[in-house]
C-alpha cells in the first residue's frame, strides 16, 4: 500500500524537529520535498530560509524569505528571517526597518520572536538596538526570566554592570533555576573582584549546570581560596570530573600549545620582546617536530575585523584584541567566549581546540570563515 503524502504542516513539523537537533541538511531535505508538493506553503519557505541561514547560505536564505513575503507580505517570521539575513549582508538600516515592522504590526507580545530579533542584533554587536527589543520583551513578559536575563547580558556588553546585575538578579527571582543567568552573574561578580558573592552564586549551581570550563575553574579556585580546600578534596571531585568531561582528551594541538606555554612561563621576563621571539622559535620548532599543518585561514568578525593565520594564531589574536580577556590563557579565553556565545545564541560552542572553537562560533553566527 502506498504511503500517503504528508501535509505541509507535517513537513514543517518534521523539519522543525530536525532543525532543533542541529540537523540542518536533513531539515532542508525535508523542506525541499515538502515544497515540491506545496510550493505556496509560506511556512516551508520560512523554514528553508532559517535552514539556509544556519548553513551560512545567505543568498539562498534571502531568496527563501523573499518568496515567503511574496506569498504573505506581513508574515512576522518571514520579516524576522529576512532582517537577520540582511544583517549578514551589512544592510543594517533595512534590517531594522523589517524588525520594527514586526512591532508596528502588533507582534510585540510574541516574546519568542522578539527575543529572537534581539539575539540576532546582539550577535552583530548592535547593542543599543538589541536592548530596544529585549526591553520590549521584558515589558510584555514581566514574568519571563529569559527577557530579564537577556537585558542583563546586553547591559554587561554596554559596560553597565550595575544594570546587568539588577536584571540578572531579577531573572533569578523569577526562576531560581535559571542556571545560565546565575553563572553569568557569578562571572560578572568575579570580574569585578567580588569573589565571595561570586562564590555564593556558583555554590548554588551543580556541575551539570555548567557546559564550559570557565565557571568550573573559577568555582574550584574560589573553593580552594575561601575554604582552604586542597587538590583532590572530595568536595571538588565532581567538579573536576565535570571539567574533564568538558575538556575531553587533549589532542596533539592541545599538547603542543600546553608544551609551548609551559616552556615560555619558565623563562624570565615573559612579556618582553625577547620572550616573544623565544615563543615564536619554540612554536616553529614544535610545529616542525609534529609536522603540524600551518596552512592559513581567514575569518571575518561581525564588526568587520579580519584575522589571517592558523586556527591557533587566529584565536590568540582574538584574545589579545579583547580588553576583557587579553591576559588569559587560550583555553580560558575560548571557554569565556563560548559561555558568552551560548548566552546569546543558545548554540554550544566546543572549546576542545582552536579549529572546533572557530567553526562552532561560525555556526552560532558570531563570525564568518572566509577560507
CA distances from 76 to 45, 86, 110, 118, 131 (A): 13, 15, 10, 14, 20
282-314 burial by CB neighbour count: b if 16+ within 10 A, else e? bbeebbeeeeeeeeebebeebeeeebebbbbbb
DSSP code, position 327: T
| pLDDT, averaged in runs of 10, over the chain (371 residues) | 71 95 94 96 97 95 97 98 97 98 97 97 95 97 96 96 97 96 95 94 94 87 88 88 76 56 57 57 52 67 85 88 67 80 75 84 85 76
pLDDT at 1: 33
Range(s) within the chain of domains with CATH label 1.25.40.10? 1-107
CA distance 266 to 261: 9
CA distance 287 to 294: 8
Backbone region of residue 328 per phi and psi (left: phi > 0; alpha: psi in -120 to 50; beta: other values): beta
Q: Cβ distance 185 to 168 under 8 Å?
A: yes
pLDDT at 40: 96
pLDDT at 247: 72
Q: Cβ distance 96 to 80 under 8 Å?
A: no
Q: Any residues with CB less than 8 A from the CB of 273 and at least 6 apart, and which?
A: none
With vertex at residue 121, the alpha carbon angle to CA 201 and CA 355, rounded to the nearest 5 degrees, is 75
Backbone region of residue 15 per phi and psi (left: phi > 0; alpha: psi in -120 to 50; beta: other values): alpha
Please give the sequence-ordered ranges of beta strands (E in DSSP) within the chain, or none if there are none: 297-301, 306-309, 367-369
Q: Which three cell numbers stand for residue 159?
A: 559596560
Q: What are phi and psi of 260, to 5 degrees?
A: -60, -50
CA distance 114 to 108: 7
Q: Which strands form 306-309's sheet, in the order they lie side by side?
A: 306-309, 297-301, 367-369
pLDDT at 345: 76
At 10 the three-state DSSP class reads: helix
pLDDT at 111: 97
Render 17-71 in DSSP notation, one character per residue. HHHHTT-HHHHHHHHHHHHHH-TT-HHHHHHHHHHHHHTT-HHHHHHHHHHHHHH
Widest CA span in the chain = 79
Q: Is it true that domain 1-107 has CATH number 1.20.1250.20?
A: no
At 351 the three-state DSSP class reads: coil
CA distance 318 to 53: 24
Render 125-176 in DSSP notation, one character per residue. T-HHHHHHHHHHHHHH-TT-HHHHHHHHHHHHHTT-HHHHHHHHHHHHHH-T
In this structure, is the dihedral angle defined by the CA atoms of residues 34, 38, 82 and 114, taken in order, positive or negative? negative
Q: Which three cell numbers stand for residue 60?
A: 539562498
Residue 299: closest CA among 238, 364, 366, 351:
366
Amino acid at each position: 500500500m502506498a504511503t500517503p503524502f504528508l501535509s505541509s504542516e507535517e513537513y514543517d513539523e518534521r523539519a522543525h524537529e530536525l532543525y532543533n537537533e542541529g540537523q540542518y541538511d536533513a531539515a532542508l531535505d525535508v523542506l525541499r520535498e515538502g515544497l515540491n508538493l506545496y510550493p505556496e506553503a509560506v511556512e516551508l519557505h520560512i523554514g528553508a530560509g532559517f535552514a539556509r541561514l544556519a548553513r551560512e547560505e545567505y543568498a539562498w536564505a534571502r531568496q527563501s524569505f523573499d518568496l515567503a513575503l511574496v506569498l504573505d507580505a506581513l508574515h512576522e517570521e518571514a520579516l524576522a528571517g529576512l532582517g537577520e539575513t540582511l544583517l549578514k549582508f551589512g544592510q543594517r538600516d533595512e534590517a531594522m526597518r523589517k524588525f520594527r515592522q514586526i512591532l508596528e504590526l502588533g507582534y510585540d507580545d510574541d516574546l519568542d520572536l522578539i527575543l529572537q530579533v534581539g539575539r540576532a542584533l546582539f550577535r552583530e554587536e548592535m547593542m543599543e538596538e538589541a536592548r530596544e527589543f529585549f526591553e520590549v520583551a521584558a515589558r510584555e513578559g514581566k514574568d519571563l526570566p529569559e527577557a530579564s536575563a537577556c537585558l542583563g547580558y546586553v547591559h554587561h556588553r554596554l559596560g553597565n554592570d550595575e544594570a546587568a546585575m539588577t536584571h540578572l538578579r531579577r531573572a533569578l527571582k523569577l526562576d531560581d533555576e535559571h542556571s545560565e543567568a546565575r553563572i553569568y552573574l557569578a562571572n560578572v561578580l568575579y570580574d569585578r573582584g567580588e569573589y565571595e558573592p561570586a562564590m555564593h552564586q556558583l555554590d548554588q549551581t551543580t556541575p551539570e549546570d555548567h557546559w564550559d570550563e570557565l565557571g568550573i575553574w573559577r568555582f574550584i579556585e574560589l573553593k580552594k581560596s575561601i575554604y582552604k580546600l586542597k587538590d583532590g578534596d572530595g568536595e571538588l571531585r565532581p567538579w573536576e570530573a565535570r571539567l574533564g568531561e568538558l575538556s575531553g582528551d587533549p589532542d596533539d594541538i592541545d599538547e603542543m600549545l600546553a608544551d609551548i606555554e609551559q616552556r615560555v612561563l619558565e623563562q624570565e621576563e615573559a612579556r618582553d620582546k625577547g620572550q616573544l621571539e623565544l615563543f615564536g622559535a619554540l612554536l616553529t620548532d614544535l610545529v616542525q617536530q609534529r609536522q603540524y599543518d600551518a596552512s592559513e585561514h581567514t575569518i571575518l568578525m561581525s564588526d568587520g575585523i579580519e584575522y589571517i593565520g592558523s586556527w591557533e594564531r587566529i584565536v590568540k589574536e582574538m584574545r589579545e584584541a579583547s580588553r576583557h580577556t587579553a591576559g588569559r590563557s587560550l583555553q580560558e579565553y575560548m571557554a569565556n567566549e563560548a559561555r558568552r556565545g551560548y548566552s546569546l545564541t543558545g548554540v554550544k560552542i566546543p572549546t576542545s581546540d582552536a579549529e572546533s572553537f572557530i567553526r562552532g562560533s561560525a555556526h552560532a553566527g558570531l563570525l564568518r570563515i572566509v577560507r
